[in-house]
């Protein structure tokens, strides 16, 4: 992991949120601005606008959030909230991020239920579903481009794709078998260095 001190945010300039309410409002804001993914807006809001953390702290928190199960941005909200105000901060950040979007998505779903019989609405949704496939595929390919796996990594990646995507294995078996093998191989390589 790289720790580049960000030129934008020196430690001296860092602020702390005034209250759990400030956390709630900031996460609410970044969440409502994020269509099709909240992470880029989280970085902008938390690091550049509010200056609650440096960029390297943001990346560190993100990598921890990614390793753990759960939505990355949700985990980040919990961790950042916890850092400033303990459990109260976690709850404030997390509900701030989720409450308004939840209301919006439910409203959309209810409105949509009234129109789903119309072939044009169904066709539009199918088109949007096709975009979703592309967006998710692109996240995977971008991850590959930013960090190419070694030979073992490629083998694990392809095995995951075949077992889950083509053979539709239950994920729990894939995680238990491939996950254990992959972590063991990575551990082994780390020991040799």
Partner 1 sequence: MSFADIISLFTHFMMFSLLSIGGAITLVPEMHRFTVEEKGWLGDYEFTSSIALAQASPGPNILFVTLIGWNAAGTLGAIATTLGIILPSSVLALYANRWAQHRADRPLVKAFRGGMIPITVGLLLATAWVLAEPNLDKPILMLISLVSLTLTIRTKLNPLWLIGGGGLAGMLLGG
Residue 87 is a binding residue for partner 1 (CB under 8 A): yes
Residue 70 is a binding residue for partner 1 (CB under 8 A): yes
Burial 56-75 (b: 16+ CB within 10 A, else e): bbbbebbeebeeeeeebbbb
Torsion (CA) 66, 68, 74, 76 in degrees, nearest 10 = -60
d(CA 68, CA 113): 35
What is the nearest approach in angstroms of partner 1 to the Cβ of residue 105?
5
Question: In the Cβ-directed half-sphere of 162, how many Cα atoms lie within 13 Å?
Answer: 7
Among 22, 38, 59, 92, binds partner 1 (CB under 8 A): 38
Using CB under 8 A as the binding rule, the residues of this chain from 140 to 179 that contact partner 1 are 140-145, 147, 149, 152-154, 156-161, 164-166, 168, 170-172, 174-175, 178-179
Q: Which is nearer to partner 1, 10 or 66 (CB)?
A: 66
Q: Which is nearer to partner 1, 12 or 166 (CB)?
A: 166
Q: Exposed/middle/buried for 3, CB within 10 Å: 0-12, 13-18, 19+?
A: exposed
Residue 71 is a binding residue for partner 1 (CB under 8 A): yes
d(CA 73, CA 39): 6
Among 23, 75, 84, 85, binds partner 1 (CB under 8 A): 75
Give the range of 4-12, 17-25, 44-52, 123-131 binding partner 1 by CB under 8 A. Answer: 123-131
- CB-CB contact of 97 with 77 (8 Å): yes
Among 6, 19, 43, 186, binds partner 1 (CB under 8 A): 186
């Amino acid at each position: 992991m790289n720790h580049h001190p960000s030129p934008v945010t020196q430690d001296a300039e860092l602020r702390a949120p005034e209250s759990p309410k400030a956390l709630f409002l900031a996460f609410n804001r970044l969440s409502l601005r994020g269509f099709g993914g909240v992470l880029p807006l989280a970085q902008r809001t938390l690091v550049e606008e509010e200056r609650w953390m440096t960029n390297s702290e943001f990346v560190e928190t993100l990598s921890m959030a990614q390793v753990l199960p759960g939505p990355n941005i949700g985990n980040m909200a919990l961790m950042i909230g916890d850092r400033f105000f303990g459990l109260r901060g976690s709850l404030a950040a997390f509900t701030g991020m989720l409450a308004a979007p939840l209301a919006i998505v439910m409203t959309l779903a209810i409105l949509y239920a009234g129109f789903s019989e119309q072939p044009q609405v169904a066709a539009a949704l199918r088109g949007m579903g096709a975009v979703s496939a592309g967006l998710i595929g692109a996240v995977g390919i971008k991850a590959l481009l930013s960090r190419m796996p070694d030979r073992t990594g490629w083998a694990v990646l392809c095995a995951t794709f075949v077992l889950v995507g083509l053979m539709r294995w239950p994920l729990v078996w894939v995680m238990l078998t491939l996950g254990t093998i992959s972590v063991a191989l990575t551990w082994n390589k780390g020991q040799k260095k």
